[in-house]
Structure formats: C-alpha cells, structure tokens
Chains A and B, each alone.
Chain A
Amino acid sequence: MAILTGLGVLVLGMVKADLEDAKVCRWLARQLIYRAAEHLPHEERARWREESIRDALDLPGRLPPLLWALDVYLKAGSWGRMRGGPSWSQVLVARVRAAWRWLWSLRKARRARVLEEMNRHPSSSRPLVEATEVVATATVEATATMTARGVTRSGGSATLGYSPKTAFDQYRKSLPHLSDEEVVTLLSQSTHEFWADVDRRIEEYRRRRVEELGF
C-alpha cells in the first residue's frame, strides 16, 4: 500500500511538473483536439481541427487551452453523432488500426536500421552482439581450453557463471587416462571447433536476417 501511495505521489508529481510547462499543455490540447476530430465526418475534420486548435492556442496561460480542448474532446461524441460522423466503435477500430500501423512502422524502421548498420559494417558488432547468445552456449571444454592456453578471448565463462579454473580442473578430472599434453591438445582442437562453430552460426544468423528483411 505504501509503495502504491509512493508511486502515486511520484506520478502525480511528474504530471503536475509537466502541466506547469506551457508547451506540454499545448501539446496535450492539440492531441485532445486531434482525437476529438476523429468523431466528425471525414470531410469536416480538417476544418474543425484547424479552427479548434487555433482557438485553443489563442487562449492565454497554461491551463485554459487545455480545458478548452478537453471540453471539445468530451463533447466530441455527441457532436460527431449530430454531424453523422463515425460511431464510437468505428472510432475505436480506427484508433486500434492506427496504433497497429504505428507499431508496424516502428518494426520496419528498426529492421531498416539493422540492415543499414550491417551494410555499413559487414563484419560489424551488431551480429556479434546478437551472437552473445551463441557464445552463451559455449561448452565448459571450450572455456577451460581458453584458460589452459591463456587465451583472453572469453565471454562464455562469465555468461555461464563458471569459474574457468574450476571448469578446467573438472574437465581434467573427467579424463584421468589422458596425460596433460593430450588434454591440452584435445582442448585446443575443441577450441578451434568451438570458434569455427561460432563463426558458422554468426554467418547463419546474418544470412537469416538478410532473408527476413527481404534483401
């Protein structure tokens, strides 16, 4: 309860601070009038929207424009019905569609950004960042190999939460019939295979993304 109260106070404080900014109030007023105009017939929207915004923003101060716009918004439903505008459900459907189009455009923009980055840097960090998932699947052997050979190219051990030293000792104990030299040779080979696998999967990832993006 105390947490909810605290959050409420915080949110109210933020809203109050925002409403003290005239630009925020005017922005809100515009948004309300845009929403209100959706209730009117399509051919009348632009005219009334322009006029309402003009009048609202002509009012001095922070809150009067907002209150003007709020009044327009609250009575827009009955005004729209009087003018033969779309019904409440049609407005709702239009809003959901608009929200969906907006979300879709965000997704497309993100894809375009990724593609642009990939084109700019063919071996860029982007796939490698995504490939942390691949690295996260590193085997204990590979981590141990890196430790045994003093390779600093790491990441798997941290992701997996293993101590490289412990991992190496465990691996060594699991192969009691092999000498130290044979274990290191085996680990060297598995390291090579591991990184070859990482490179292969990164290449697969890159090819898949290019296909997904349709290029």
Chain B
Amino acid sequence: MADPPRMTMNVLKVLRVLLEDPTTERHGLEIGLAAGLRGGSLYPVLSKLEDAKLVTSAWEDVDPSEAGRPRRRLYRLSPDGIVYARHALAEAQQNLSIGDQHAPAWGHTPGFPAPGGASA
C-alpha cells in the first residue's frame, strides 16, 4: 500500500460509506450523497484514496448508447482499504467520538480481520 492519506473528516466519511458494504461498487454521486459531501470535497478524497490504493475504481461496463446514459465511475474498497478503513474508523471513533447513530459496526466485516489484529 502507498502512503495512506491524512485522516480528515471527509476521508473518514467516505471510508465509512464504502465500508458499509465493501463488496458493493458505488459511483461518486452515491458516495457523495451518503457521506454528505459535494463534488468539490468528494473527488479530492476519492483521488487520494485511489492513489493510496485503498480504493479501486473502474468505468461501468455499459454501452452508453444502449443504456441511454453516460457510464459511471464505480468505486469500492480494496482488500487493503477495507482493513485500513476499519482500523482508521475504529481509531477515529475512539478518539473523536463521532457520535453518529447510523455508523455501521466497524469490527464485523465478514472475512476480514478485526481492527486490533490489522496491520495498516
């Protein structure tokens, strides 16, 4: 994994949204709406996470002429990203007390080690 990005609130919000269901690919607008971020804050975070290889992205596999709409860019956490996100969010929850009642249960992503055992 490349150098991890600085953990800002925006980064944590995006990681939290992506970690809700790490197997699902989400497009930028969906992530932005769920995280409460507009484009100007969202895209820099996504690009940082992508540079750090915590997130992978790919263009939607559709033919725009058949779908009748332009293709989307889809994002999902990489395996490294899942571990890192869980660790970072758990740490942030302890330190910052985010206090968000909608926050998912960070430590229970099936198939991945718990934050305490993760080497970020």
Report which A residues bind B (CB closer than 8 A). 44, 47-48, 50-56, 58-59, 67-69, 71-76, 78-79, 82-83
B70-A68 in contact (CB<8A): no
A72-B43 in contact (CB<8A): yes
Given contacts A54-B70, A54-B71, A54-B72, contact A71 B40 (CB under 8 A): yes
Q: Which 7 A-B residue pairs are closest in the complex by CB-CB distance? A: A75-B40, A71-B40, A71-B38, A55-B29, A72-B39, A79-B44, A51-B73
Q: Considering the chains assembled together, what is the distance between the CA atoms of A58 and B72 in angstroms?
A: 10
In the complex, number of A-B residue pairs with CB atoms less than 8 Å apart? 56
Sample of 18 A–B contacts (CB below 8 Å): A50-B70, A52-B39, A53-B70, A54-B28, A54-B29, A54-B72, A54-B73, A67-B38, A68-B39, A71-B39, A74-B40, A75-B40, A75-B41, A75-B44, A78-B44, A79-B40, A79-B43, A82-B48
Q: Considering the chains assembled together, what is the distance between the CA atoms of A76 and B87 in angstroms?
A: 30
Q: Considering the chains assembled together, what is the distance between the CA atoms of A72 and B43 in angstroms?
A: 8
> Nearest chain B CB to A105's CB is how many angstroms away?
28
Asked if B53 lies at the interface with its beta carbon under 8 angstroms from chain A, I say no
> Nearest chain A CB to B13's CB is how many angstroms away?
15
B27-A55 in contact (CB<8A): yes
Q: Considering the chains assembled together, what is the distance between the CA atoms of A72 and B45 in angstroms?
A: 12
Q: Which residue of A lies closest to B72 (CB)?
A: A54
> Nearest chain A CB to B88's CB is how many angstroms away?
19
Prevailing SS type, chain A contact patch: helix
B29-A48 in contact (CB<8A): no
Residue numbers in A under 8 Å from B29 (CB-CB): 54-55, 58-59
Asked if B23 lies at the interface with its beta carbon under 8 angstroms from chain A, I say no
Contact mask B29-53 → A, CB, 8 Å, 1/0? 1001000001111011001100000
* Most chain B CB atoms below 10 A, which of A51, A53, A71, A78: A51
Q: Considering the chains assembled together, what is the distance between the CA atoms of A74 and B38 in angstroms?
A: 11
> Nearest chain B CB to A25's CB is how many angstroms away?
15
> Nearest chain B CB to A137's CB is how many angstroms away?
60
Residue numbers in A under 8 Å from B47 (CB-CB): 44, 48, 79, 82-83
